[in-house]
């Protein structure tokens, strides 16, 4: 809803930004592991090693014995199935696209999340934010279009185009998972939510084993283990952010990853953002920043209105 940026939402925004930073570290490790590792295998290691920080978090809270206690098993299963599908699509796109492009196309997720929040959660999204979402989606199309037209080209073009489609699918599914988490945090502990997700994701991703997993080098194993630990930590931070603010408030802060992703992509992989990526990212990020400024303006106006309504003395 168009709520004031108060202590609660600010805390949610900080958790969101921290989760984005750790997620970029996870993506970097996966990218470094190489493009020859199947998406299902990446998903398994990311999910299985994510259990380490999650179990540590439960132990810190003194909730290790009750971590799996829940009254909404179906909700966790639904969130897990949606989330793991989004994860697998995202990992496929990440290893077949330059890192800045994969991150930039993924920016469709917070925009879609705002739409889903309005449609399914009945959060109030007014004309200003609808306009910003529409403009932001135009930016996503600008970023994605060259990759999609390459579907008509050779092998590289085909893999890049399919990678772009995979990231777009991941964005839509990820937005659906965000809504499910937003509902779960109303009655479930943060650690319980991420624990169920990692267990379900680990088990489901094992189903990809018969389709061919690669023998990993020690370096690849270390990188995927590190990615999993980062993923678990980031998932805790992300889930906690939903506890303090509406999806439509914190979603635009996904854009803080573009700086880290572009720098890492350039220095580690030699990936330079294309003109389409730069133009589209500016449009998408500008739409998100507009939403943030609009939230802040509404908060100031409502605070002033409440002060004016208080009796003098």
C-alpha pair distances (Å), 14 with each of 21, 112, 249, 254: 11, 21, 12, 11
What residue numbers bound the domain in which 202 lies?
7-309
Average model confidence (pLDDT) for the chain?
Answer: 83
What are the tens digits of pLDDT across the range 66-117? Answer: 888 898 999 999 999 999 999 999 999 998 888 888 888 887 887 888 888 8
Contacts of 192 (CB under 8 A, 6+ apart): 63, 67, 68, 69, 70
pLDDT of residue 308: 66
DSSP state of 49: H
- Measured CA to CA, the distance from residue 97 to residue 201 in angstroms comes to 24
- Measured CA to CA, the distance from residue 161 to residue 97 in angstroms comes to 9
Task: Note whether residue 2 is domain-resident.
Answer: no
Task: Note whether residue 73 is domain-resident.
Answer: yes
Domain count, the chain: 1
Q: What pTM value is reported for the model?
A: 0.77
Task: Note whether residue 127 is domain-resident.
Answer: yes
Task: Note whether residue 1 is domain-resident.
Answer: no
Q: Where are the beta strands (DSSP E) in the chain?
A: none
pLDDT < 70 positions in the chain? 1-8, 149-158, 247-248, 251-252, 291-303, 305-313
Task: Note whether residue 301 is domain-resident.
Answer: yes
Pseudo-torsion of CA 280, 281, 283, 285, nearest 10°? 160
CB 151 within 8 A of CB 305: no
CB 170 within 8 A of CB 39: no
């Amino acid at each position: 809803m168009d709520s004031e940026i108060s202590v609660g939402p600010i805390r949610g925004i900080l958790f969101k930004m921290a989760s984005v930073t750790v997620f970029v570290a996870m993506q970097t490790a996966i990218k470094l592991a190489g493009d020859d590792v199947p998406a299902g295998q990446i998903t398994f290691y990311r999910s299985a090693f994510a259990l380490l920080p999650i179990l540590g978090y439960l132990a810190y809270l003194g909730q290790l014995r009750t971590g799996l206690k829940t009254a909404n098993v179906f909700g966790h299963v639904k969130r897990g199935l949606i989330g793991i599908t989004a994860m697998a699509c995202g990992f496929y796109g990440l290893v077949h696209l330059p890192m800045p492009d994969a991150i930039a196309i993924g920016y469709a997720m917070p925009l879609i999340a705002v739409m889903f929040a309005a449609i399914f959660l009945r959060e109030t999204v007014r004309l200003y934010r609808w306009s910003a979402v529409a403009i932001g989606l135009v930016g996503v199309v600008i970023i994605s279009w060259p990759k999609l037209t390459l579907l008509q080209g050779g092998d590289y073009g085909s893999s890049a185009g399919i990678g772009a489609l995979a990231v777009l699918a991941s964005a839509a599914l990820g937005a659906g998972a965000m809504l499910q988490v937003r509902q779960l945090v109303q009655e479930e502990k943060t650690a319980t939510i991420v624990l169920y997700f990692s267990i379900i994701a680990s088990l489901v991703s094992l189903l990809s084993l018969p389709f061919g997993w690669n023998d990993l080098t020690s370096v690849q194993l270390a990188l995927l283990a590190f990615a999993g630990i980062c993923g678990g930590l980031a998932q805790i931070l992300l889930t906690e952010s939903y506890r303090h603010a509406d999806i439509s408030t914190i979603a635009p802060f996904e854009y803080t990853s573009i700086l880290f992703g572009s720098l890492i992509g350039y220095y580690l992989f030699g990936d330079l953002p294309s003109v389409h990526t730069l133009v589209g990212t500016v449009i998408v990020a500008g739409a998100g920043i507009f939403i943030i400024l609009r939230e802040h303006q509404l908060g100031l106006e409502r605070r002033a209105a409440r002060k004016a309504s208080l009796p003098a003395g």
